[in-house]
Structure 1
Amino acid sequence: MELVCALLLLMLGTSAAAPQDLSAKMFTFPQETDTDHVSLRLKQRELGALSVCMRVFTDLRRPYALFLLNTNTSFVIRNHPDLSQYSFKYGSEQPIFNYNNYIMNAWQSVCGTWDAVSGLAQIWIDGKYSSRKFLSNSPITGNTMSVILGQSSDPALGKGHPRNRDSSFVGMLTDLHVWDYVLDPYGAQNYTLYRRFVHGNVLNWRQLEFEIHGRILLE
């Protein structure tokens, strides 16, 4: 029965009519594409801080987008494994974070934080934190906010918003949580080590509303 449901999701796409508990489940992105993605609608219209945590599994050696927040100005977290770097992009700023613990074909915990008061952003890989770097003092605002997983821009925006299959995510993703504040070191460590932690108050993997577009499996 689970296989049949997965195939139906794959062929038809799906819109979660109500929040779903995705504990022990994951999204599988099986191919390079400039269209396939998962979209999640946010209720917020302003964010003065942001923390994003997820677990990812991939064998990519090229850059790819991990998390895209669409509103008046896009907020993007990217991995550049070919250069041993992560980057944030918001407005005209794009700080680069160097790291040396990318592991191919293994689950890794990735957390990113940012606060508009200080303007500082930081990345955490498997509980190891980077230096903090300036991103922006401007809060994220917009009448509508949505998150895109799997693409570096929103395919629904159509022409004029360039997309590139060479930056799409291929692999598995699970345990996505988003908060409207900066996680402290204990929170990030607890998430990494599967300890008890406060679930995201913006997006919660155990109460997630989502839409699947294209050949993406929930399994």
Structure 2
Amino acid sequence: MEMLLLLLVLLPGSLAVPEDLTGKAFSFPYSSSFGSVNITSDQRNSLKNFTLCFQYQPSAGSINPLFSLYPTNGSCSFSLSKNYDRQYRLYVCGNTLSFCCSSVFQDFPGWVRVCVTWDSRTRVAQLWENGKGSVRKGLESRPISLSEEGTPNVVLNSGSSPFQISDINLWDRELPPWEIMAHGTGNVLSWESVWYTTRGATLLESKR
């Protein structure tokens, strides 16, 4: 949870105009230096349900904080990390759901594609890795409060682990499996039209 506390102090911002980042990736190459990226949208959307997809290259034997999602005017945030034990952990308003990855972790794993879906009515999430869906898991807690409408913010945070991340797309609905497999562009945040600011040791470079 220390990652969430650190991310809360980041201020949102954007470029004057959106940029097409097709074929590019944000890199956090330094294990001893903090870097972050804040991605926003010029659209106002309800995020009671959502799907967020991205690709990343992890570091072997490290903890990777992958993203945090903050729906504006909501009292809830979402955060996903990949841990030493190869588990993905999704933090939802102070609650935690764990998902085991399907791929074999190697020192040179290549690009891994991950999607996270959330249904606010049922409080059920699912994680997809390289086209394979996890068991759907739900929270038995009190109702989750998300914003009816607002401008979402996605924060990428290097923590202390070098990694790269690319092709981030966000939809305001839970995508069915065939759409997740289609690798489309999000209707809330699209990698083809990104408003972003960077902070610290962060590089934007060609995807490799």
Pair in the same fold by TM > 0.5? yes
Q: Which one of 135, 140, 143 corresponds to residue 146 of structure 2?
A: 140
Aligned to 1:149: 156
Match in the other structure for 2:118: 114
Report SS of the residue matched to 1:47: coil
Distance between the aligned counterparts of 2:105 and 2:79, measured in 1? 21
Change (3 A) 1:144 1:19: closer
Q: Which amino acid in structure 2 is aligned with residue 129 of structure 1?
A: G
- Which amino acid is 2:146 matched to? I
TM-score by length of 2: 0.79
- Identify which range, 26-35 or 203-212, moves more after superposition: 26-35
For residue 118 of structure 1, what is the amino acid of its counterpart? T
Q: Distance in 1 between matches of 2:34 and 2:28?
A: 11
The one of 112, 131, 135 aligned to 1:131: 135
Which residue of structure 1 aligns with residue 101 of structure 2?
Answer: 99
| 1:33–1:140 Cα change, 3 Å | farther
Deviations 1:7-62 (A, max 9, x none): xxxxxxx9521111111111111123574200012443641111110110122422
CA deviations 1:182-205 (Å, max 9, x no partner) are: 1110011122xxxxx3x1011100
Counterpart among 200, 204, 208 of residue 218 in structure 1: 204
Q: Which residue of 2 aligns with 1:59?
A: 59
Aligned residues: 184
Worse-superposed segment, 97-106 or 177-186? 97-106
- What runs of 5+ residues in structure 1 fail to find an aligned partner? 1-13, 152-164, 192-196
Say if 1:213 and 1:103 are closer, same or farther in 2 by CA, change over 3 A: same
Overall identity of the aligned pairs, in %: 29
Cα distance in 2 for partners of 1:33, 1:50 equals 33
**In 2, Cα distance between the equivalents of 1:109 and 1:33?**
26
TM-score, normalization: structure 1? 0.75
1:190 aligns with 2:197: no
| Corresponding position: 1:204 with 2:190 | yes
Q: CA 1:123–1:15 in 2, change beyond 3 Å: closer, same or farther?
A: same
What is the root-mean-square deviation of aligned Cα atoms in Å?
A: 2.3
Shift of 1:173: 0.9
- Report the CA distance between 1:64 and its aligned residue: 2.0
